[in-house]
Chain A
Amino acid sequence: KQEVTQIPAALSVPEGENLVLNCSFTDSAIYNLQWFRQDPGKGLTSLLLIQSSQREQTSGRLNASLDKSSGRSTLYIAASQPGDSATYLCAVNYGGSQGNLIFGKGTKLSVKP
């Protein structure tokens, strides 16, 4: 069964800290992996997309890495800000444009000013 696990479930840090969110998946034959941000009661905002052939992607203060062999991805957030507070979801695509995403349960991040 294809499963996606995110650790930790919740994280609280003071403003300015660098932090790492973890995502693991059971089946390494992925097509790509996406990190999303979800604010309470809102939809999902795509943060980073990593294709299976890539090892990392960067956007601003965010850096996502992918290690298919170990079934892991990490999302690194540098110099965290209170505005980064949200739930971060990792989703794995196994079927390409015909497939759906399998989501982890998310990491709820709280950045204290």
Chain B
Amino acid sequence: GAVVSQHPSWVICKSGTSVKIECRSLDFQATTMFWYRQFPKQSLMLMATSNEGSKATYEQGVEKDKFLINHASLTLSTLTVTSAHPEDSSFYICSAWLVMNTEAFFGQGTRLTVV
């Protein structure tokens, strides 16, 4: 199947700093990518839809100024958590569609811990 690569797989940062997470589709182009957040023992919740060449669409309750999304190319979307706080600690995971059959492929996820 298609491969989506996410980096880093884990990161620890100090409160108040910013963290950038990258999501790449390695062997296909993705005009749309999705960013999810997963709390312990919970399912994935969609944060935003990342559209190549245009602004991201954020779900209700997600602060667009805090979670900056950039989709500058057909194979790369980035999520930047700005001014991180301990409550932002979570598992962040991206996905991209393989358009020909609308199958979703996910990155490995990023475990963010803010101390």
A interface, CB within 8 angstroms of B: 31-32, 34, 36, 41-46, 49, 51, 89, 91, 93, 96-98, 100-101, 103-106
A44 near B106 with CB under 8 A, answer yes
- Chain A residue nearest to B107 in the complex (CB): A43
User: Contacts A89-B43, A97-B32, A100-B34: A46 and B107 contacting too (C-beta < 8 A)?
Assistant: no
A34 near B101 with CB under 8 A, answer no
A36 near B106 with CB under 8 A, answer yes
Q: Which 7 A-B pairs have the closest CB atoms?
A: A44-B106, A43-B108, A43-B109, A103-B43, A105-B43, A43-B106, A49-B103
Q: How large is the interface on B (under 10, 10 to 19, 20 to 34, 35 or more residues)?
A: 20 to 34
- Chain A residue nearest to B102 in the complex (CB): A97
30 contacts between A and B (CB under 8 A): A31-B102, A32-B102, A34-B103, A34-B104, A36-B106, A42-B109, A43-B93, A43-B106, A43-B107, A43-B109, A44-B93, A44-B95, A44-B106, A46-B1, A46-B104, A89-B43, A93-B102, A97-B32, A97-B99, A98-B32, A100-B34, A100-B49, A101-B34, A101-B44, A101-B46, A101-B95, A103-B44, A104-B43, A105-B42, A106-B43
Q: Quick check: is B28 within 8 A (CB to CB) of the other chain?
A: no
Q: Quick check: is B58 within 8 A (CB to CB) of the other chain?
A: no
B interface, CB within 8 angstroms of A: 1, 6, 32, 34, 42-44, 46, 49, 91, 93, 95, 97, 99, 101-109, 111
In the complex, chain B residues whose CB is within 8 Å of the CB of A106 = 43
A46 near B103 with CB under 8 A, answer yes
User: Contacts A103-B44, A104-B43, A105-B42: A42 and B108 contacting too (C-beta < 8 A)?
Assistant: yes
B32 near A41 with CB under 8 A, answer no
Considering the chains assembled together, what is the distance between the CA atoms of A106 and B49 in angstroms?
22
